[in-house]
Structure 1
Amino acid sequence: MDVLLSWNGTTITRDSSERKKNEIFSSFLWSLAGIPLVLFGLVMIMVVVDFLMKYWVRPRVMKWRMARQGVFGPTPSFMMGNLREMEKMKDEETSNHMQGVRHDIVSRLLPHYVRWSKLYGKRFIFWWGIEPRMSVTEPDLIKEILCSKHSLYYGKSYLQQRGVRDFIGKGLVMANGESWAHQRRVVAPAFSLEKIKSQVQHMVDSTLEMSDRWKGIVDGGGGSAEVEVSKDFSCLAGDIIARSIFGRNFEEGRKIFQQLTSLQKLSSQAGRYQWLPISRFLLVSVNSKIRKLKFEVENSLQDIIQARVDEYEEQKKSYGDDLLGLMLSQAYEGKSKKLRMQQVIDECKTFFFAGHDTTAMLLAWTMMLLASNPSWQEKARNEILTVCGTDLPDIDSLANLKIVGMIVNESLRLYTPASLLARQAQRDMKIGGLRIPKGLSVWIPTLAIHHDKEIWGTDADEFKPQRFAEGVAKACKHPMGFLPFSYGPRSCVGQNYTLMETKLVLALILTRFSFRLSPNYKHAPVFVLTLKPKHGVHLILENYGFASPGPF
């Protein structure tokens, strides 16, 4: 053993020196090994703190801030907010169909609103999972939210965007702030009245195909037959929007929209759990189907869009006169692209959802109302025959169908497809004397406002199209009382398209068929993204005297 040092009775050998070095090196390695554990611990602490802030602290702070301003509401439970309570009330109300055809449907579809507005007043706060929402029904406050200079700072919340991201993405309906303003400028020109005139023929062609099929069913039934019309209107609206968007690519568009319909149903199923932070790990098979279907839809749309762009670059003529072509002419105008490919794809998916489901349900509810009110059905039919004669209706004659317009407005009021409007404050602001903190969503229950007796009178739950005889402005006590397409800068860009399509389809049907409610009809409105008839709309159709399709 080599002696390295001997002093004052202490001897250090080479072996002990090596051991010392090894001990120091081992200690260093253990220190390095502990760094990831420390980092992991810090990350976990941050995750826990963030979790507690989102799910525990923030809801209570928001509740306290609004309570100081006199806005109260039900106590939220951890993570779920008031969802369990809301779902329980809704399930109890919609478990059975209504007795008879009655239009007092607010307590059925918005039972939580009815209960909480009685307890806490016209303004109250509740929680959709971890998202705080304040219910607002005061017309002046609604006007300030939707129409004031602050309207740009009210957008769609993260939970809203997350719930529909797979089937409509970040199209115009879900965009916020400057992104929304930019997309609106690009998309809106395609829906001007002059532009959508070119889409009327698509509406006529699809409706005549459906009415020919109905006529075959009626003739086969000896002059009358039962038809469940809501499914047919869903197919009709899908065909029309496919023709309108894709024109010559109609068959490809039809396949895409069949896939989008399936994607919408799957997204709605998965959306029930979107408020959970681990929702993406639930319903593994459903989420897998969603991803696969979304990939197929977006690839197909990209192929169609790219083919249009390539064709234009080769021929330098036009992108086409359908909605896709009109949008591309705006989006790709000049040397710089105003929208990326993904944005164009998302807008196409948004057109489908907004132009398909809304119109289909509007037609279904209007037919139900006319079937249960034969005198108004006859008034509408006589007006159509007077204005259009035996010719097919055109854009000018549609504008002169005043009674039909009154009926459609009353249908929109009683059974508005979008039963609520939600806007989330993107920053702190003050409106109507209230300080609205960033992150608070303002919930406007459109259906409840449309049935409000203070705004519409004691007959608010009755079908009375005559209330619109002097126009929308004089139909109720406040312009914010009628919001089927929202209001202000963020109002629905496709409302002219929807109203034109609805009036045209009704005109073609009413001159070919008379109809009444089937004994099998069960009145059961439910809310599934839009307001739908749970058991369909069963009607007895009879031939009325098929109008000869004259020149268009």
Structure 2
Amino acid sequence: MIKELLSSKFVQNTGKSWLQQEGTRHFIGRGLLMANGASWSHQRHIVAPAFMADKLKGHVGYMVECTKKMVRNLYDVIGSSTRTEVEIGGYLTMLTADIIARTEFDTSYETGRRIFHLLDKLQILTAQSSRYLWIPGSRFFPSKFRREIKSIKADVERLLMAIIETKKEGAEFGRMSSYGKGLLGMLLAEMQKKKEGFSYDLELIMDECKTFFFAGHETSALLLTWTVMLLATNNDWQEKARAEVLEVCGDGVPTADHLPKLTVLQMIINESLRLYPPASLLPRMAFQDFKLGDLHIPKGLSIWIPVLAIHHDKSLWGNDANEFNPDRFSGRSFALTRNFLPFASGPRNCVGQAYALMEAKIILAMLLSSFSFTISENYRHAPVNVLTLKPKHGVQIYLKPLRV
């Protein structure tokens, strides 16, 4: 029934509710994640080419260079020590922020860092403010809380507008032949097309930028953070993954041709996504009456797909469902079943899925070839849901350099 609900059959009959859209209005606005119906179809069609295989291969060099910089920073932190504690989540968050800023928005690390810092604050405030949406009229009450949200939103949009204006000026005055190859360049080119019906305006482009700035680094950073935690607590799998990386990549850095051969690493990533899916819940609303299996679904009904519960269901995954066992993904077909939903499923699945998996493989491969790591006794396991599934107190690990 879940597979059927997420299929193309119901893609126009279901979508994001008013409550969800209103709750994220100041955060990601009308971006792809919150779009419905014909608007969603148009937006998906326009952004999808930015994440196609040929485009992604062109990003490998950026991803490797950004990761090299993080590895150098970690070596500097360690210095001459043979074992140093670091909170790895913070490093991975800034790394994925750097990568998405460079690959899809052609902007500097510093500008990207400021945008992500503001979006992080906006995410927390938005999650808190959505609690009050259940009270009719509450969104119209002036408060210090709402003034802060609007102030941060304005700061984000000023930074995005500066990036957009730079690109527009470069194209208009001939300094650049186009608006760029990344997602932002494609959106600006689309805005110039005069079409009837759906079209992009500056406000929608900024909403799309916020959506992909957030989704392109937040979920990737969490996938990497949880995977490092699991490898730090399961040394045998860490050694298997490191041996595979050395066999496939040798002493060099990963290339696009290496990535499909890292099958053990893919199994580990899948198991991490099963245990700690970034989006633990997929909410949908019925926009008209329809039949789902034996159920009559009335218009206006909210349907919640509990991804976290499905991923930990012992009847589906066995008695070891709560344990880390990448071997369960050794049969490739099993990873593609309806029971595995880290990126949702069907037409509304995550458009950046291939991007996230490629990025995760490159970063993990380079970490594994540079360091061995174990979990710190200061680590406190406390996953918490704030739109995404986060480690509340971070992930503290001991790093030991493998190269001098």
- TM-score w.r.t. structure 1 length? 0.70
Contact 1:270 1:283 in 2 (8 A): no
Moved more, 516-525 or 319-328: 319-328
Q: Higher RCO, 1 or 2 (CA under 8 Å, sep at least 6)?
A: 2
Number of the residue aligned with 1:390: 251
Q: What residue number does 2:83 align with? A: 224
Q: Secondary structure at the match of 1:416?
A: coil
State the distance in 2 between where 1:250 and 1:371 align. 28
Cα distance between partner residues in 2 of 1:375 and 1:250? 36
7, 12, 15: which is aligned to 1:155?
15
The alignment status of 1:516 with 2:374, answered yes or no, reads yes
Matching of residue 174 in structure 1 with residue 34 in structure 2: yes
CA offset digits 1:323-361 (Å, max 9, x no partner): 3123334x2464448411111111100001111111111
CA distance in 2, matches of 1:237, 1:286: 29
Superposition deviation, residue 523 in structure 1: 1.2
Match of 1:192 among 28, 35, 52: 52
Give distance in 1, aligned partners of 2:8 and 2:59. Answer: 33
Residue-pair matches, total: 401
Alignment partner, residue 328 of structure 2: 467
Alignment partner, residue 286 of structure 1 = 145
Question: How many Å apart are 1:149 and its aligned residue?
Answer: 1.5
Q: Which amino acid aligns with 1:412?
A: L
Matched, 1:238 2:97: yes
Q: Secondary structure in 1 aligned to 2:316? A: helix
Q: Distance in 1 between matches of 2:134 and 2:304?
A: 17
2:316 & 2:135 partners in 1: Cα distance? 38
> Which amino acid in 2 is paired with 1:343?
L
CA shift for structure 1 position 365: 0.6
Following superposition, the deviation at residue 502 of structure 1 comes to 0.8
Unaligned runs of 5+ in 2: none
Residues 455 and 212 of structure 1: CA distance in aligned 2, closer, same or farther (over 3 Å): same
Report deviation, 1:204: 1.8
CA contact (8 A) 1:246 1:322 kept: yes
Q: Which of these residues, 230, 255, 259, is aligned with residue 369 of structure 1?
A: 230
State whether structure 2 residue 282 is matched by structure 1 residue 424.
no
What is the Cα-based RMSD across aligned positions, in Å?
1.8
Corresponding position of 2:341: 483
Residue 265 of structure 1, CA deviation: 2.1
SS in 1 for 2:99: helix
Provide the C-alpha distance between the structure 1 equivalents of 2:213 and 2:48, rounded to a whole number of angstroms: 15
The alpha carbon displacement at 1:468 in A equals 0.9
2:153 and 2:324 mapped to 1: Cα distance? Answer: 41
Segment of structure 1 superposing worse, 207-216 or 397-406? 207-216
Cα pair distance change 1:348/1:169, threshold 3 Å: same
Q: CA deviation at 1:529?
A: 1.1
- 1:136-155 to structure 2, matched below 5 A, reads 141-155=1-15
1:164 deviation in Å? 1.2
Q: Distance in 1 between matches of 2:57 and 2:186?
A: 13
AA aligned to 2:304 is W
Q: Which residue of 2 aligns with 1:501?
A: 359
- Of residues 506, 531, 546 in structure 1, which corresponds to 2:389? 531
Partner of 2:296: helix, strand, or coil?
strand
**Aligned partners of 2:187 and 2:200 also within 8 Å:** no
Q: In structure 2, what residue type is equivalent to 1:219?
A: G
Contact 1:451–1:461 (8 Å) recurs in 2: yes
| Cα distance in structure 1, aligned partners of 2:62 and 2:123 | 24
- Which of 123, 140, 160 in structure 2 is aligned with 1:264? 123
C-alpha distance in structure 1 between counterparts of 2:263 and 2:186, whole Å: 30
The one-letter code sitting in structure 2 at the alignment partner of 1:523 is: H
Q: Distance in 2 between matches of 1:212 and 1:283?
A: 47
- In the alignment, is residue 352 of structure 1 matched against residue 213 of structure 2? yes
Letter in 1 for 2:147: S
Find the counterpart in structure 2 of residue 106 from structure 1: none
Q: Is the 8 A contact 2:191 2:201 kept in 1?
A: no
Residue 189 of structure 1, CA deviation: 0.7
In the alignment, does 2:272 pair up with 1:411? yes
Shift of 1:257: 2.5
- Range with greater deviation from structure 2 (370-379 or 394-403): 394-403
Identity in percent? 51
Q: CA deviation at 1:250?
A: 4.5
